[in-house]
Amino acid sequence: MSTQNQIGVGIIGCGKISQAYFDGAKTFKVLNILACADLNEATAKSQAEENGCAALSIEALLAHPDIQLVINLTIPAAHAAVSGDVLNAGKHVYCEKPLTVDLEDARKVLALAESKGLLVGCAPDTFFGAGIQTSREIVDSGAIGTIHSGTAFMLSPGVESWHPNPGFYYLKGGGPVLDMAPYYLTALVNLIGPIKRVSAITSKAYETRTATCKEHAGEVLPVEVNTHASGTLEFHSGAVVTAVFSFDVHAADHSPIQLYGTEGSVKVPDPNTFGGSVESFIASDEPREWKPVELTRPYADNMRGIGAADMACALLSGRPHRASGALACHVLEVMHAFDQSSETGRAIEIESQPERPAALPTGLAEGDLD
CATH number of 118's domain: 3.40.50.720
Does residue 325 lie within any of the structural domains? no
Do 220 and 173 lie in one domain? The reply is: yes
Torsion sign (Cα): 119, 122, 128, 129: positive
Does residue 188 lie within any of the structural domains? yes
Does residue 324 lie within any of the structural domains? no
For residues 326 and 329, what is the distance between their CA atoms, to the nearest angstrom? 5
Do 87 and 34 lie in one domain? The reply is: yes
Q: How many domains does the chain have?
A: 2
Does residue 366 lie within any of the structural domains? no
Does residue 148 lie within any of the structural domains? yes
The residue range of the domain holding 202 is 128-293
Do 146 and 268 lie in one domain? The reply is: yes
Angle, nearest 10°, between helix axes 41-51 and 18-27?
A: 20
For residues 115 and 93, what is the distance between their CA atoms, to the nearest angstrom? 14
Do 103 and 137 lie in one domain? The reply is: no
Instruction: Among 268, 293, 318, give the residue marking a domain's end.
Output: 293
CA angle, corner 217, sides to 211 and 219, nearest 5? 60
Angle, nearest 10°, between helix axes 79-88 and 103-116?
A: 10
Do 91 and 156 lie in one domain? The reply is: no
pLDDT at 107: 98
Do 194 and 252 lie in one domain? The reply is: yes
Q: Are the beta carbons of 52 and 334 closer than 8 angstroms?
A: no
Q: In terms of C-beta density within 10 A (0-12 exposed, 13-18 middle, 19 or more buried), how is residue 135 classed?
A: buried
Per-residue pLDDT tens, the chain, 370 aa: give them. Answer: 345 689 999 999 998 899 999 998 999 999 999 999 999 999 999 999 999 999 999 999 999 999 999 999 998 889 999 999 999 999 999 999 999 999 999 999 999 999 999 999 999 999 999 999 999 999 999 999 999 999 999 999 999 999 988 998 999 889 999 999 999 999 999 999 999 999 999 999 999 999 999 999 999 999 999 999 999 999 999 999 999 999 999 999 999 999 999 999 999 999 999 999 999 999 999 999 999 999 999 999 999 999 999 999 999 999 999 999 999 999 999 999 999 999 999 999 999 999 999 999 988 888 999 9
Which phi and psi angles does 225 have, rounded to 5°? -105, 160
For residues 154 and 289, what is the distance between their CA atoms, to the nearest angstrom? 25
In the chain the first and final C-alpha atoms are separated, in Å, by 22
Does residue 365 lie within any of the structural domains? no
Q: What is the largest CA-CA distance in the chain?
A: 64
CATH number of 288's domain: 3.30.360.10
Does residue 65 lie within any of the structural domains? yes
Do 45 and 139 lie in one domain? The reply is: no
Do 283 and 135 lie in one domain? The reply is: yes
Do 79 and 199 lie in one domain? The reply is: no
Q: Are the beta carbons of 33 and 27 closer than 8 angstroms?
A: no
State the pairing for strand pair 31-37/54-55.
Answer: parallel
For residues 329 and 244, what is the distance between their CA atoms, to the nearest angstrom? 20
Instruction: Among 122, 155, 190, give the residue marking a domain's end.
Output: 122
Which phi and psi angles does 118 have, rounded to 5°? -115, 160
Q: Say which residues have a Cβ less than 8 Å from residue 172's Cβ, sequence separation at least 6.
A: 101, 224, 225
Do 245 and 217 lie in one domain? The reply is: yes
pLDDT at 172: 86
